[in-house]
Structure 1
């Protein structure tokens, strides 16, 4: 009888534990689902508020708001093309500079650097990511811009000024501030983020795969090209898109060095503007409903650009995932 009673008690206790566990799972599921829905609700709320605030400007200017270069608060004529151009060009220039540098740093830290040197370099990269953007802007204005004006921009003008494409890109007065300086500062700012993601993804590559390639006589570059990159391509693309998203939305650092000129620059050395810089410079001084609405419309355009970039990144990652194993 005692054995039967003991077995019955154990079964009852196990049933109670299963019931408690199932109840806890339901609570956990509800909390996580609510958290995800809160994020979606926040994004939808932000988008809706931007659309409502931007509607007066969008209804007045229509599609011409995206194609007009005029920005005149006196006559209440506004266009977003200058800000869109400056945002895309400065971000593209930043990625052209930052991606190869970040790849080289991550590769050196994970594959080439001595063990005693890896930790200091990784710590320095993390410290760069912790510097506030306004500090980057002040440094770019007071240190980097004079250096570029005195040494780099005159040399680029002399070296590439006569070439068909590069002559256009590297043309303009060597005054230090402009789209080129903004792109360079953005590159320095996003390098730590891209490097950190690449480094972490490179470190998860199984050592047996790399050692097998080395045993077959492969060089370091061949191992990176044939083993490391195919294994980590999803993480690498994700890190690049993370840096691009940071560059698109950067405000204070770009405001300091881009020049804040409401005109399409004729070269990288000319002053320009970006959407974030325009918002930072003019939102507190906006007077009148249409002026404020135009600034909110700029924010809506930046929001849409960021969504498009993230959507393209997600599609690229899905395509890379589907191609794995082929």
Structure 2
């Protein structure tokens, strides 16, 4: 038995090392593929790709033009700034709404609800996380979006102060498509991810620190704020990053409720817009008609931008987790 175990040890270590390298190799493969496909578009589009607004594929059925050795349709001009702004803005709206709701729901399930009801609510959260995005998008386009445009957005638009920042909430509420509805639909999709993960983390907090905090005179709110949440801060940050990744990369739901309008910057929170992921899925079919293949390479470039944004977000989250983890719990301080 010892000999067989000694023989299996190196094999298990080798298998573990290979398994650990697979995700890294997959990530490098995807990055390399996107970079190779996007290089011609990067050469032609230049830096104005990040500052330009217009999205014009040019004359895809006419003669081609050669720029810096790259063939592309005459009049082709691509600017990704509205796509980047739309992606970041919708994700920000989703997180602003989803994070407090998710953490509050997790605390309610763990701390307040009876076990029988908590299990049912938790099961509903997990079922909501498994609903296909196209169904959520259809619900947003047919029901939720018109409800927001007809009953919620007009109230906000009428009562928003005419100030430099809050002026962004004034304007035409639209017809159920746009930045606000896209952010709210993303929030609905993100809440189950953050809430279910936070619920599992809060359940792992030992009871003794909480009981000690209550014994030292803290209220239940102070105990949650200064003991429970600090105990699981790094895990909650990770859950938020998972939700943010879902929001940044969501495709079908946003494509169905954003309006999918290219070439314009959102002027109000109700303006129609689009995101990087929604643009890729909506423009890929027409890009295939470009005989120079330049439109497809431009979609590869904007996909590379989305991947870089996602990677930078994850790196920033890891740095934040390292900073907040390891800090002492403030139990008893100020009591």
State the TM-score, normalized to the length of structure 2: 0.89
Quote the RMSD (CA, aligned, Å).
Answer: 1.4
Q: Whose helix proportion is higher, 1 or 2?
A: 1
CA distance in 1, matches of 2:54, 2:85: 13
CA distance in 2, matches of 1:136, 1:55: 35
Number of residue pairs matched by the alignment: 310
| Aligned-residue offset at 1:174 | 2.7
Work out which of the residue numbers 25, 34, 39 in structure 1 matches 2:23.
39
CA contact (8 A) 1:172 1:268 kept: no
CA distance in 2, matches of 1:323, 1:209: 15
The residue number in structure 2 matching 1:10 is none
User: How big is each residue's C-alpha offset from its partner over 1:10-68, in whole Å with a ceiling of 9 and x where there is no partner?
Assistant: xxxxxxx3332122121111111111112111111100110011111100111221111
Work out which of the residue numbers 44, 49, 53 in structure 1 matches 2:37.
53
The residue number in structure 1 matching 2:64 is none
CA distance in 2, matches of 1:321, 1:98: 23
User: How big is each residue's C-alpha offset from its partner over 1:70-106, in whole Å with a ceiling of 9 and x where there is no partner?
Assistant: 1001221111111100000000000000001001100
The residue number in structure 2 matching 1:191 is 191
1:211 and 2:215 matched? no
Matched residue SS, 2:267: coil
Q: Whose strand proportion is higher, 1 or 2?
A: 2
The residue number in structure 1 matching 2:14 is 30
The residue number in structure 2 matching 1:253 is 253
| Aligned-residue offset at 1:226 | 1.3
Instruction: Extract unaligned runs of 5+ from structure 1.
Output: 1-16
CA distance in 2, matches of 1:161, 1:150: 20
Aligned ranges for residues 143-162 of structure 1 at < 5 Å?
143-160=143-160, 162=162
The residue number in structure 2 matching 1:224 is 224
Aligned ranges for residues 163-202 of structure 1 at < 5 Å?
163-202=163-202
User: How big is each residue's C-alpha offset from its partner over 1:111-166, in whole Å with a ceiling of 9 and x where there is no partner?
Assistant: 11122211111011011001000000000000011111211111111111534422
